[in-house]
Amino acid sequence: MSVTQQRRKIGPVELEVIMGTVRSAELEIEAAVERTSRSPMIRDQHDYRVALFDAKGRKLTGRSYSALVEPVFEYFGADDIHEGDVFFWNDPYNSCGGIGHIPDLCTTVPIIHQGRLIGFSQVFGHHDDVGGAVPGSMPVKATDMWTEGLVVPPIKLYERGKLNSAAYRIIARNSRLSEHLKGDIDAEIGAARLGSRRIVEMAERYGIEALEAAFDTIIRNCTETIRRELLPKIKDGVYSWEDYIECDGVEAPKLHAMRLTMTKTPDKIVLDFTGTDPEAAGPINWPIDYADGKFARKWMAPVLRSLASSPERAAEIDMNEGVLDIIEVKFPEKGTLVTPHFGKPTGLRFFILLRSLGIFAACLAKATGGRMPADHETIRIWGLHGGRTGKDFFLFREVLGGGGPGRPWADGSDVVHIVPNSRNLPAEFSETRYPVLVEKLALAIDSGGAGYRRGGFGYDKRIRVLQGGKLLSNADRAMLNTYGVNGGKSGSTYGISVEHKDGRVDAIAGMADNIVVEDGAVVRIMTTGGGGWGDPLEREAERVRYDVECGLVSEQAAREVYGVVLNRLGNEIKVDGPATMARRAKMRHARGPLPMFDRGTYFQEIKAAQGVAWPKGWRDPDEGWQAVARAKNEAAAE
Amino acid sequence: MGLRVAIDTGGTFTDVVAIDEASGDQWAIKTPSTPGDPSQGLLNGIRKVCQAAGREAGQVAAVLHGTTTATNAVLEHKFEGLGLLVTEGFRHIIEIARQSVPDGYGNSYFWVKPPRLVPLHLVREVPERLDFQGRVLAPLDEEATLGAIDELVAKGVRCIGVCLLHSYANDDHEKRVGALIATRHPGVFVSLSSIVLPEYREYERAMTTLLDVMVKPYCKTYLGRAEAEIRRTSGDTRFLIMQSNGGVVTARTAGEKPVTMLLSGPAAGVLGASFMADHAGLRNILTIDVGGTSTDVSLVENLKPQLTSAALIEHYPVKTPMLDIATVGTGGGSLAWIDPYGNLKVGPRSAGADPGPICYGKGGKEPTVTDAALVLGRLPAALVGGEIALDKTNALKAYQKLGENFAMSAEEAAAGVLEIAAANQVNGIRQVTVMKGRDPALYSLVSFGGAGGLFACEVADFLGIQSVMSPPNPGNLSAFGLHVSDVKRDYIRTMVRQESAAKWREVDAAWRELEVRGTKEIAAEGVPEADIQLNRSADMRYVGEGHEVPVPVSEGVTGEAAVAELWREFHRVHQGTFGFAYEGSQDVELVNLRVQAVGRVHRPLARKINGKAGKATPASTRPVYWRGIGWQDCAIYRRETLPLDATLDGPAIVEEYGSTVVVPAGWRLTVDPYGNLMLKRKP
């Protein structure tokens, strides 16, 4: 009998069937949300998350992050949870840190079997409109939470199966798309109930005791997987890093720093956000200092999967409540970006959500000899609206991906989006539906940060506007580059510009609203490239040559960044081996040691101008960190 | 009247079922597949079944053929020399794809973009541009096009996919490009997206076109070779190929557009199951076809298999009308194994056909589902037919060893493995039911394939299903299903029109155009016009939705009435599919018009079983192990000796050639007049 088995109170068969059923139920809930909800943000962009929990509120499912069940206990208590109840909230300051911005409405149903609470099923989705200052409920200029839409603290939308119709009507009335909103809420409740039936069936088949023992094992498996497969790859010690949001939408652009100190011991990782900059006036705050930081711990833990033995293995590793035994967090005093005071706006908190993953990954890079993916910026929205309300009004809005990070095992993937299965709009669809002509849909040349494994490419998209309108852009990383790791170079920034008919070109800011675009003008959008990984001079010359042949890397970059000398013979491009070797040797000699991180030129300029200020007790987290040579790095991975 | 021969070519074996058109007599044989050149296995099959039936090749009246070899060839990455031509500005179309990363949140950090079907250096742009209505914004630059074609050919390209923007609305440019290639490089294979999939969404259209041209040399070659040989031996015999949509077409048509046969492997089984279910008086069924490495699951409502228009082959989308079939990685050959954390797993790893389960004695070392069934006494000592004696000793040893890891006996471990295998299938069934808003408990389970009868009742128990059916000869129901297929071709045209702005005459005219083509092409397949049926439908959505629902038009309704029916019926279909509708409050949009042309062909008679009603007599008894109960002496029956209307109660085992049906306690089995075993949960 294996050690694992001795501790189990459940047979291997029951366990495997229950694990398979929980996983299948998660997929079923997702399918039900997509099938029956109405907001395009949920149905097509897949911006929703589902989860199953045990009776203690511990998360069992692992495909994706989720909100928390803690608000049910905190606001109602164990005695006030009944069959037929539906708990509901979206309040960023009353959801134990589980809901980050107001468009995310969260639905939770208790799972009851033979009168006993055996778990919870939960769905939250990003709804198209929950009121507030602007359509879409994500005002760039918001200076408080109330501007951003209707705020619902934890309530029972259903009490023992009976709808609280007053609450339902108030919520629906506060949306510009109340029919959509009602449909979405009903869909989420239906989907959550569907998931709960699956858990009840397992209780009926194997009994509550076996079910609970299986839940314990599911959670322990996660902890054990991390302990055995991932933690040993991280060197014990204390590591710090920081990254920035360049603009809060309200004040003039400046660096808003998120700071992290990671302390790694054999069995644990402590993440301390002390040193993070003060809360912002605009909507980039993220209130997570609740419920022992459970949300942030579960949100950030999946970063560890990049340390798995292969990307296929990484995709298999479920991240559930078991991560709490590994990761602890510490927060600074109230009043920072991650501990904002009640009422601070949070609508565009997705910038800081992504930064948190990036700084954790960078701390891990320091602790693993650089063996972590570089940076990628994955969410931005641009759009064009025009016409007359009620007549020919149109809103053409796209969520566009960016280049993925270079990693030790592969180049970054091109134009990817962090939300799984989210899709871009086909040109043929866009042209049929909106007054536009997509003139170019391409990968942006040289956008991926150079490296032994380069970053993925971002978009280079040109859209001719056939009927004038107004442009919007919700994007970060328009000034700061995505960072490169272990000698890899930073990736290119986001850029949006309007090329007027008379030839003038206007560059537009990343955070912009209501920019007038006339008939016949062209909007050009370049999305971020991923950061590069490893020394570009180590990249196989043949790979560089192939990227040049494909037109993805310029000959200039091949020569100047990668040190590869190419000869053109008619249509053929060939590597000049000896010249390349000589050139690379010369470049290596001239440049000196490579830094561990490259944040790009905009940052370097600010830093050179003494524009980066560190709080007391902090020093430049890049200083003294050099790239680890590839041979050494690979040996470390063994 | 002659012999109709159906050949179902799998990865390892080819199943052949021949039926005499006049008498309905049937013969079935099995022969090894020949994946390198599938025509060899196919022709061997015809020869062997003629021998078995005592007929001459000249008496073969029709050959029907279904295959998984094209899919397998794609999965094995057997193809090279593929190139793509696209509209200027869109060279990165397949690199960009739809920007999606599969599975979990945040996987974009480590997920690696899979290799594209065509590497970027073999994609070339063609200067030209149409708008969405098919109007020419920039004419085709023929000189530049020829330059691009020559460059590709010089780089070794032998198959070219052509996908130009908005070609579904106007195919002039694509046709011209096709002609330029044909004139300049006659040996090069070409597929035009406007022929393969005249539907908007350029990435999916490009990929479907590429898959089509990719398998074209392979399919065309082997089908051509087989056809020539069939003509030589059997004269002017019809040679029909199963497509993914559940219909057949002539080999020549299939070779021209082979993407339609790419996912046809499991389709015939669904047709065969539906045909037998009809005779048994069932209308709403779930079919499960349990093979060696996997199980195919599908939903049939009102005897109509459910259709879908898109699937993935590996990472690559393919859009073509097809039966909606989900595949689960659990079958008879699935391995039971222990993961590094000590968890017991079943599948998706499989022992395959070679070496196969331990008990087949062909070198298999790891325990499979089939070995578990043997250990538990569910399978006989030798598979009926006597061809394979089963090695129980080594199967038992393997399960003893597996059980030791969990302090379980060999039997407990084996029974647990069957329970897990059943649960895996249950999750597959939920994909085609619950995920589409259907309750599986309301359907009957029709179970077939070699391992179909082993745990069908266990699967039913999980899902609350009350009745299970095992059709006769469950091992070759797929080959039988080929006999009950019609000639079918699908026609599609994208026409995006909002209800408020649509003109019925325009819609009707477009439909009629598709119908004229359908009638012509089905007639060319040799079907008399009187036997051709035309089914109109459309893909529709509310304005602003990202995906469409298929809306059928009632048979025979045309003109203004047909269009009016669309606008009306859409809301009902939307309600049924998604659970909501906006009738009267939101504008509806037409996206694609479709016509399916169906040519009815010969149907075999289902044969009633001989003899009088009577009592079932067991052939023997043997101990069988049941989870949670233990060993029990159980009656063992031979299927062919079960009289009509016989009734027997579980626990019992029914054995036959190539298959075993397990009847657990709590289930009652009866035999219907067509030889279907009907199992019902006892009240």
Tokens describing residue B212: 């089509």
Nearest CA to A515 among A379, A384, A394, A620?
A: A384
**Cis omega before residue A420 (within 30°)?**
no
Are B65 and B80 within one domain?
A: no
**Domain assignment of residue B659, yes or no:** no
Q: Which residues touch B501 (CB under 8 Å, ≥6 apart)? A: none
CB atoms near residue B611 (< 10 Å): 10
Most B-contacting residue of A217, A428, A482, A549 (CB-CB within 10 A), to test interface = A428
DSSP A583: H
Are B156 and B37 within one domain?
A: no
Find the closest chain B residue to A202 by CA distance. Answer: B462
Q: Note the pTM of the prediction, 2 decimals.
A: 0.94
**Domain assignment of residue B301, yes or no:** no
**Domain assignment of residue B338, yes or no:** no
Report the SS3 class of residue B443. Answer: coil
Instruction: Give the pLDDT confidence score for residue A390 in this predicted structure.
Output: 66
Most B-contacting residue of A432, A454, A482, A522 (CB-CB within 10 A), to test interface = A432
Chain A residues with CB-CB distance to B420 below 8 A: 13, 16-17, 20
> What DSSP assignment string belongs to A35-60?
HH---HHHHTT--EEEEEEETT--B-
Contact B105 A65 (CB under 8 A): yes
Residue with tokens 């029919």, as numbered in its chain: A179
How open is the CA angle B305-B330-B334, to the nearest 5 degrees?
150
pLDDT block averages, 10 residues each, chain A of length 638: 51 94 93 84 85 97 92 95 97 96 96 97 92 88 95 98 96 90 92 93 95 96 96 98 96 96 97 98 97 97 96 94 98 98 96 96 97 91 84 84 97 94 90 94 98 98 95 94 98 97 95 92 98 97 97 97 94 94 96 95 95 93 92 65
Looking at residues B194-218, what average pLDDT do you find?
A: 95
Are B79 and B214 within one domain?
A: yes
Q: Which residues touch B278 (CB under 8 Å, ≥6 apart)? A: B303
Tokens describing residue B336: 């039971």
CB A191 within 8 A of CB A50: yes
As a whole number of angstroms, the distance between CA A12 and CA A17 comes to: 9
Are B203 and B239 within one domain?
A: no
| Strand A104-113 with A116-126, pairing | antiparallel
As a whole number of angstroms, the distance between CA B539 and CA B188 comes to: 35
As a whole number of angstroms, the distance between CA B240 and CA B401 comes to: 50
Question: HEC profile for B571-621?
Answer: HHHHHHHHCCCCCCCCCEEEEEEEEEEEECCCCCCCCCCCCCECCCCCCEE
DSSP A403: P
Find the closest chain B residue to A546 by CA distance. Answer: B121
Say if residue B622's pLDDT is above 50: yes
| B 528-587: CB under 8 A from A | 544-547, 577-580, 582, 585
CA dihedral A143, A145, A147, A148 (to 10 degrees): 120
Instruction: Give the pLDDT confidence score for residue A571 in this predicted structure.
Output: 78
Instruction: Give the pLDDT confidence score for residue B677 in this predicted structure.
Output: 96
Task: Looking at B235-377, list the stretches that DSSP marks H as alpha helix, in order from N- to C-terminal side.
Answer: 251-256, 267-279, 369-375
Chain B residues with CB-CB distance to A28 below 8 A: 430, 434-435
Are B143 and B241 within one domain?
A: no
Mean pLDDT of chain B: 92
Q: Is B201 on the interface with A (CB under 8 A)?
A: yes
As a whole number of angstroms, the distance between CA A107 and CA A99 comes to: 11
ipTM, 2 decimals?
A: 0.95
Integer CA distances (angstroms), A453 to A134, A532, A563, A628, B520, in order: 42, 6, 15, 14, 55
**Domain assignment of residue B238, yes or no:** yes
Residue with tokens 């016949």, as numbered in its chain: A520
Chain B residues with CB-CB distance to A418 below 8 A: 101, 105-106, 108
CB atoms near residue B74 (< 10 Å): 21
Chain A residues with CB-CB distance to B579 below 8 A: 35-36, 187, 190
pLDDT tens-digit map of A50-74:
999 999 999 999 888 999 999 999 9
Q: How confident is the model at residue B75 (pLDDT cuts 50, 70, 90)?
A: confident
Instruction: Give the pLDDT confidence score for residue B525 in this predicted structure.
Output: 84
Mean pLDDT of chain A: 93
As a whole number of angstroms, the distance between CA B16 and CA A154 comes to: 64
Chain B residues with CB-CB distance to A4 below 8 A: 341-342
Maximum alpha-carbon separation in chain A: 80
pLDDT tens-digit map of B110-124:
999 999 999 999 999
Instruction: Give the pLDDT confidence score for residue B157 in this predicted structure.
Output: 97
The alpha carbon dihedral of A59, A60, A61, A64 has a sign of positive
As a whole number of angstroms, the distance between CA B42 and CA B227 comes to: 10
Beta-bridge partners for A398: A382
Are B202 and B231 within one domain?
A: no
- Closest by Cβ to A441, choosing from B90, B100, B547: B90
CB B138 within 8 A of CB A434: no
Are B151 and B210 within one domain?
A: yes
Last residue of a domain, one of B584, B599, B614: B599
Say if residue B497's pLDDT is above 70: yes
Q: Is B314 on the interface with A (CB under 8 A)?
A: no
Nearest CA to B659 among B462, B482, B471, B480?
A: B471
Are B100 and B160 within one domain?
A: yes
The count of domains in chain B is: 3
**Domain assignment of residue B118, yes or no:** yes
Tokens describing residue B177: 């490009």
Residue B594 phi/psi, 5-degree rounding, is -130, 150
| B 436-455: CB under 8 A from A | 436-437
- Which residues constitute the domain of residue B256? 3-74+221-261
How open is the CA angle A450-A452-A458, to the nearest 5 degrees?
35
Residue with tokens 């099938």, as numbered in its chain: A35
CA dihedral A166, A168, A172, A173 (to 10 degrees): 0
Q: Closest approach of chain A CAs to the CA of B254, in angstroms? A: 28
CB B376 within 8 A of CB B625: yes
Find the closest chain B residue to A424 by CA distance. Answer: B98
Are B102 and B198 within one domain?
A: yes
Chain A residues with CB-CB distance to B546 below 8 A: 40, 43-44, 423
Contact B121 A549 (CB under 8 A): yes
CB A464 within 8 A of CB A582: no
Instruction: Give the pLDDT confidence score for residue A2 in this predicted structure.
Output: 41
Last residue of a domain, one of B539, B569, B599: B599
Q: Closest approach of chain B CAs to the CA of A225, in angstroms? A: 8
CB A373 within 8 A of CB B109: yes
Instruction: Give the pLDDT confidence score for residue A378 in this predicted structure.
Output: 78
Find the closest chain A residue to B338 by CA distance. Answer: A12
Report the SS3 class of residue B412. Answer: helix
For chain A, the residue count is 638
Q: How confident is the model at residue B351 (pLDDT cuts 50, 70, 90)?
A: confident
- Closest by Cβ to B121, choosing from A40, A49, A550: A550
> What DSSP assignment string belongs to A308-334?
SSSHHHHHH---SGGGGGTEEEE--SS
Q: Which residues touch A509 (CB under 8 Å, ≥6 apart)? A: A247, A473, A478
Tokens describing residue B472: 């006769």
Looking at residues B498-523, what average pLDDT do you find?
A: 94
Looking at residues B264-279, what average pLDDT do you find?
A: 94
**Domain assignment of residue B677, yes or no:** no
**Domain assignment of residue B272, yes or no:** no
Are B208 and B99 within one domain?
A: yes
Are B56 and B176 within one domain?
A: no
**Domain assignment of residue B93, yes or no:** yes
Contact A35 B579 (CB under 8 A): yes
pLDDT tens-digit map of B401-429:
999 999 999 999 999 999 999 999 999 89
| CATH classification of the domain holding B59 | 3.30.420.40
Are B84 and B212 within one domain?
A: yes
Residue with tokens 């094992």, as numbered in its chain: A217
Maximum alpha-carbon separation in chain B: 81
Chain A residues with CB-CB distance to B96 below 8 A: 414-415, 424, 441-443, 459
As a whole number of angstroms, the distance between CA B683 and CA B151 comes to: 72
| CATH classification of the domain holding B183 | 3.40.50
Terminal-residue alpha carbon distance, chain B: 48
Contact A546 B121 (CB under 8 A): yes
Last residue of a domain, one of B186, B218, B250: B218
Beta strands in A427-521 (DSSP E): 436-443, 459-465, 469-474, 484-485, 495-499, 505-508, 511-517
Most A-contacting residue of B91, B94, B108, B128 (CB-CB within 10 A), to test interface = B108
Say if residue B161's pLDDT is above 90: yes
Find the closest chain B residue to A222 by CA distance. Answer: B341
| B 123-152: CB under 8 A from A | 131-132, 137, 151
CB A382 within 8 A of CB A395: no
CB atoms near residue B451 (< 10 Å): 30
| H or E segment to which residue B679 belongs | strand B677-681
